[in-house]
């Protein structure tokens, strides 16, 4: 199914599904499955950032970790630089392993409490199975600490001796130590203070610029994603419902879920905030164990019709690289 596209994306995901079996009883009989990621496709071009947004439990983190093969995809293809890595064995994936890195959500749990910064980075540098002299490692650690704007004196610190922002910088440095091409950022700022969030986002942008990195940026905070992403994909219950240029998310949101999501973003200007019209969704997000048939959003959608209950709408291009999965786009936009 690989089409010949002039500028080949660095990562192309096709029909990715990640289901988790639910097992019960003594024999571990499978009684159901959680469709965490259900048939999604997207592509990221080199040097760009794809923002993946959605609420808790919509499968955005699972998507990111599935691409890194932390979770085994149930089906679908993941083309990294044209090679399908979805089904590769551990040995086969080794040459790609270090090119795909992850920045974690939790800066506390992602660093080994018994390793100093120096030990953490040394490990990441030396696991490439090449020879490194002590001087080379030292120089590389200094270079990495400078890249993430940490003081060189930090290298003797242990994780518990650092702030959340500093730890997150160490996490970024560890990812960079592998000379990655694609980094999955799994809500890298959601555990940080707002002031630190901005610093980390700007650092990520700077690194992207200087090192030509490609990001898959997972977040639930629309303003953060808007700030860093080139393309934004909105996920709901394991499916991508809208895919658009980042500038379009505020200018021209089309899917009813995207609209509701946007209307929930508070505005700091009090006068404007008073005027803000909120779209209140009824009900709760259905469980991904028995997701509704058809469009997953239909039980909560004002515009739902019978078609929505039966068939999942396809992501359809509406021009300008904007894709929406909705049967009733006409009514929604009016």
Partner 1 sequence: MMQNFNAESFKQFLRVFFGRGILVQISLVIILIFVFSALLAPILTPYTPLEQDLTQMFANPSAAHLLGTDNIGRDFFTRLLYGAQISLVVSLLSSVWAGVVGIILGLIAGYFEGLASSIIMRVIDAQLSIPSLIFSMVLGMVIGQSIPGMAIAIGIGAIPSYTRMVYGMVLSLKHNDYITAAALVGQSETKILLKHLLPNCFAPLIVIFTMSLGTAIMVEAGLAYLGVGIAAPTPAWGVMVSEGYKYLTQHPRLAILPGLCVMLVVVAFNIVGDGLRDALDPRLRGKL
Catalog residues that contact partner 1 under the rule CB under 8 A: 68, 70, 94, 97-98, 100-102, 104, 106, 109-116, 118-119, 123-124, 127-129, 158, 160-161, 171, 174, 177-178
Spatial contact of 241 and 235, defined as CB atoms under 8 Å apart = yes
Is the Cβ of residue 155 or residue 258 nearer to partner 1 in the bound state? 155
Is the Cβ of residue 83 or residue 309 nearer to partner 1 in the bound state? 83
* The total number of residues written for the chain in this structure: 334
The residue written with tokens 């942008």 in the block is 205
Q: From the CB of 128, what's the least distance to partner 1, in Å?
A: 7
Is the Cβ of residue 37 or residue 68 nearer to partner 1 in the bound state? 68
Q: From the CB of 27, what's the least distance to partner 1, in Å?
A: 13
CA neighbor of 110 nearest in space, from 31, 43, 182, 168: 168
Q: From the CB of 53, what's the least distance to partner 1, in Å?
A: 21
Is the Cβ of residue 135 or residue 280 nearer to partner 1 in the bound state? 135
Q: From the CB of 164, what's the least distance to partner 1, in Å?
A: 14
Long-range contacts of the stretch 25-34 (C-beta < 8 A, 24+): 32/289, 32/290, 33/289, 34/288, 34/289
Long-range contacts of the stretch 143-150 (C-beta < 8 A, 24+): 144/173, 144/176, 144/177, 145/117, 145/121, 145/173, 147/173, 147/176, 147/207, 147/210, 148/172, 148/173, 148/176, 148/203, 148/207, 149/203, 150/117
Is the Cβ of residue 132 or residue 259 nearer to partner 1 in the bound state? 132
Q: From the CB of 51, what's the least distance to partner 1, in Å?
A: 21
The residue written with tokens 């997953």 in the block is 296
Is the Cβ of residue 103 or residue 312 nearer to partner 1 in the bound state? 103
**E strand or H helix at 219, and its extent?**
strand 214-219
Angle in degrees, CA 150, 141, 218, rounded to 5: 60
Q: From the CB of 159, what's the least distance to partner 1, in Å?
A: 9
């Amino acid at each position: 199914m690989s089409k010949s596209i002039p500028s080949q994306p660095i990562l192309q995901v096709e029909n990715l599904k990640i289901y988790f079996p639910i097992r019960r009883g003594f024999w571990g009989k499978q009684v159901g499955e959680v469709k965490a990621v259900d048939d999604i496709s997207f592509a990221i071009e080199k040097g760009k950032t794809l923002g993946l947004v959605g609420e808790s439990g919509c499968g955005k983190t699972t998507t990111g970790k599935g691409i890194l093969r932390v979770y085994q995809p149930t089906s679908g293809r993941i083309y990294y630089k044209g090679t399908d890595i979805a089904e590769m064995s551990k040995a086969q994936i080794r040459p790609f392993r270090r090119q795909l890195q992850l920045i974690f959500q939790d800066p506390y749990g992602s660093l080994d409490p018994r390793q100093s910064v120096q030990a953490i980075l040394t490990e990441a540098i030396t696991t490439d199975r090449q020879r490194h002299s002590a001087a080379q490692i030292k120089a590389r650690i200094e270079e990495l600490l400078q890249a993430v704007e940490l003081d060189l004196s930090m290298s003797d610190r242990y994780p518990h001796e650092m702030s959340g922002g500093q730890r997150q910088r160490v996490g970024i440095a560890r990812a960079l130590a592998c000379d990655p091409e694609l980094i999955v950022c799994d809500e890298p700022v959601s555990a940080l203070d707002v002031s630190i969030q901005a610093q980390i986002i700007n650092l990520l942008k700077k690194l992207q610029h200087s090192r030509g990195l490609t990001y898959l940026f997972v977040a639930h905070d629309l303003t953060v994603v808007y700030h860093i992403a080139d393309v934004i994909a909105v996920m709901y219950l394991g499916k991508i419902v809208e895919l658009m240029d980042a500038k379009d998310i505020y200018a021209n949101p089309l899917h009813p879920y995207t609209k509701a999501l946007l209307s929930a973003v508070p505005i700091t200007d009090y006068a404007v905030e008073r005027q803000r019209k909120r779209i209140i969704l009824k009900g709760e997000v259905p469980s991904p164990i028995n997701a509704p048939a058809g469009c997953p959003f239909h039980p909560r959608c004002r515009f739902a019709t019978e078609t929505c209950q039966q068939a999942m709408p396809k992501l359809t291009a509406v021009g300008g690289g904007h894709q929406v999965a909705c049967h009733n786009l006409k009514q929604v936009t009016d």
